[in-house]
A and B are shown apart, each in its own frame.
Chain A
């Protein structure tokens, strides 16, 4: 078989604890986004749109729904006879097995996968960001620089810089310093958690990192600083498109809202760079005589008889007469009863909200979102306050 130029390894094992009830039973990359997508659709579609046809998806936390969703990769055109998408969970071997300890260790435990494809370069991605990016441009720069490692960077507001890995680079883009979550950031060039390594360099560094007992086996904390100290050829790739970490309820809400408006900040209506997803075979959405749907988006199979304002409505959602939904996210398969009021709510998949329930209050805001967990049932006339989290008792 002809060797691949570059394969991708997608870190999708994170729990996403700051998404609370949304990730009780699914991994963060499988959380619904933007009416018809899940977060993982973005890195997977980016790969396809960048000509990368081999993707290892490293799963660990609550992998079942994620595994089923990714399946054979067909929706992303990643069902290939050589390559394609592979889910890579931790496994037991003759001498035992262990969970993925950190981002670098997760890749280390799958060195066999890297060696099997033996591509020239390896792209490391994470499954918790919303962005459209053509990785082939980054790969071209990486190759032109003959870099050992290229890190994608985006400029963030100075007051947020201490949440990220911050680096400084020279005019020719070679990286001069890197600090993970610094107290006093030297610049606002933040690492996007997207790396391209020469495959041989990556294998060498991962083996060395694994041997280092003091390491926590994390790319940002260990591997990158060590390589920089060892004077490896490390370059930055400056990205200036839309990029959003959706690790918190508020940031997930904001990213959804970025799809609304006449000129949305995040425009997915682009036939040259489609975001692919796996969807149900449903008819188009119906807006009834009593329905009002204003400055909002939805996908197929919805039945709208109530009022929806500034909201994102997922696949197959029903909104009954008299219901008013404002500034909210409603995920797939959920049923909103008659005269229900929702303000700044985030309603997970397959929830039933019975008639006359009120979710949110005058205190509601994007920082006080009421969150209803997957498959929950909200009783008739129930009152759920802003910022409250309702979840089914754990099974």
Chain B
């Protein structure tokens, strides 16, 4: 059951314009020491996938820096391992708009691989899923395409791909809409296929007018192809806006979610190791209901918050309901509420900043307040 992994590194960058101004979606920090791509990469590695291609288009320096040669995910391999797939500048000006366009742009990578199966994943899926199980169900169902789905209460008007299945989990209807509401089964942006079947889709794209997985290949071919759904029942968060990012981040303060996301059957989430010193919490500090990463030095008050590696909180500072990225410094007697502070922000003494739970106040990387 050799499987090739492919991760879309930039796919929804514009969803979180604030956080992707200086990085790709894949390298957005999450959960105190991780980046979004750690989840997709770790899921693949934990499922026995040893060759993973990461497709990137723009702003990928921070991603390259983060994944490097893949050794932190055990993907520094002689055969396979982690392969970055930046755009191939051949003068072809055809814009890349969909995941399927990206897949077409790496046709030679896919055709030169020898794995029997392919699993493709967006990089903004925060979950701990056994992809070997997904591929096994793909085999058992004699499916052409298997898509991971989940149940979700739809509230806002974001574009969704709603999936309807028969009693055997075969997909009978695919609806792309931004008007749905209520509890629906939606596409979770993970696709499994036979590699040769995927090559067939690429090679017949022009004659069949395939431009998108969701709009063309799934929606128009539920009769022609055997498309099956695999229900992901565990924790799944899709980080598709700043307020969602904020909400899902703070969900990690719930122990059940931490257990599901970081400890499912011993499947850990791997990330780049930074070798920071242990975190130090001083006698003047008071920290409750918070996640604290290595390298933090806390002398003030921290409540309902997530502090990434190397954050310094001075005496008298008060941080509540906030997410503070790597190496940000918070000065004496400053107060932060509902703030997302990007990397290396310097908040001087006595500052007072507040957002709202639905509209967190975002501080850009390197800013001085």
- By a CB distance below 8 angstroms, the chain A residues around B288 are 287-289, 291
The answer on a CB contact under 8 Å between A295 and B255 is no
Greatest chain B CB density within 10 A among A35, A260, A277, A281 is at A281
The answer on a CB contact under 8 Å between A300 and B280 is no
The answer on a CB contact under 8 Å between B281 and A293 is yes
Contacts A284-B31, A303-B255 given; indicate if A294 touches B294 (C-beta within 8 A): no
The answer on a CB contact under 8 Å between B252 and A283 is yes
- By a CB distance below 8 angstroms, the chain A residues around B276 are 269
The answer on a CB contact under 8 Å between A269 and B292 is no
Greatest chain A CB density within 10 A among B32, B275, B289, B295 is at B275
Q: Does A262 count as interface, using CB distance less than 8 angstroms?
A: yes
- By a CB distance below 8 angstroms, the chain A residues around B261 are 283
Q: Does A274 count as interface, using CB distance less than 8 angstroms?
A: yes
A133 vs B270: C-alpha distance in the bound complex, in angstroms? 31
Interface residue from A75, A262, A299 paired with B279 (Cβ < 8 Å): A299
Q: Does A330 count as interface, using CB distance less than 8 angstroms?
A: no
Interface residue from B289, B292, B299 paired with A284 (Cβ < 8 Å): B292
Q: Does A286 count as interface, using CB distance less than 8 angstroms?
A: yes
The answer on a CB contact under 8 Å between A36 and B287 is no
The answer on a CB contact under 8 Å between A286 and B258 is yes
The answer on a CB contact under 8 Å between B278 and A276 is no
- By a CB distance below 8 angstroms, the chain B residues around A283 are 31-34, 252, 258, 261-262, 269, 291
Interchain residue pairs with CB less than 8 A apart (7): A268-B277, A282-B268, A283-B252, A283-B262, A283-B291, A287-B289, A291-B288
The answer on a CB contact under 8 Å between A274 and B269 is no
- Among residues of B, the one whose C-beta sits closest to the C-beta of A278 is B273
Q: How far is the CB of B203 from chain A (nearest CB, A)?
A: 40
Residues of B240-266 at the interface with A, using a CB-CB cut-off of 8 Å, are 252-253, 255, 258, 261-262
The answer on a CB contact under 8 Å between B33 and A294 is no
Which range contains the number of A residues in contact with the other chain? Answer: 35 or more
Contacts A74-B71, A283-B262 given; indicate if A300 touches B289 (C-beta within 8 A): no
Greatest chain B CB density within 10 A among A259, A280, A296 is at A296
Contacts A269-B297, A287-B292 given; indicate if A299 touches B278 (C-beta within 8 A): yes
Q: Does A6 count as interface, using CB distance less than 8 angstroms?
A: no
Q: Does A34 count as interface, using CB distance less than 8 angstroms?
A: yes
Interface residue from B271, B281, B291 paired with A297 (Cβ < 8 Å): B281
The answer on a CB contact under 8 Å between B268 and A281 is yes
A281 vs B42: C-alpha distance in the bound complex, in angstroms? 10
- By a CB distance below 8 angstroms, the chain B residues around A296 are 280-281
Q: What are the interface flags for A127-168 relative to B under an 8 Å C-beta threshold, 1 for contact and 0 otherwise?
A: 000000000000000000000000000000000000000000
- By a CB distance below 8 angstroms, the chain A residues around B306 are 284
- Among residues of B, the one whose C-beta sits closest to the C-beta of A305 is B255
- By a CB distance below 8 angstroms, the chain A residues around B63 are none
- Among residues of A, the one whose C-beta sits closest to the C-beta of B304 is A289
Q: Does B368 count as interface, using CB distance less than 8 angstroms?
A: no
Q: Does A298 count as interface, using CB distance less than 8 angstroms?
A: yes
Contacts A296-B281, A297-B281 given; indicate if A285 touches B275 (C-beta within 8 A): no
- By a CB distance below 8 angstroms, the chain A residues around B292 are 284-287
- By a CB distance below 8 angstroms, the chain A residues around B262 are 282-283
Q: How far is the CB of A286 from chain B (nearest CB, A)?
A: 5
Q: Does B198 count as interface, using CB distance less than 8 angstroms?
A: no
Residues of B275-314 at the interface with A, using a CB-CB cut-off of 8 Å, are 275-283, 285-295, 297, 299, 306-308
The answer on a CB contact under 8 Å between B282 and A286 is no
Known: A269-B277, A289-B289, A298-B279. 7 other contacts (CB 8 A): A35-B278, A75-B275, A268-B277, A269-B276, A294-B282, A294-B283, A297-B277
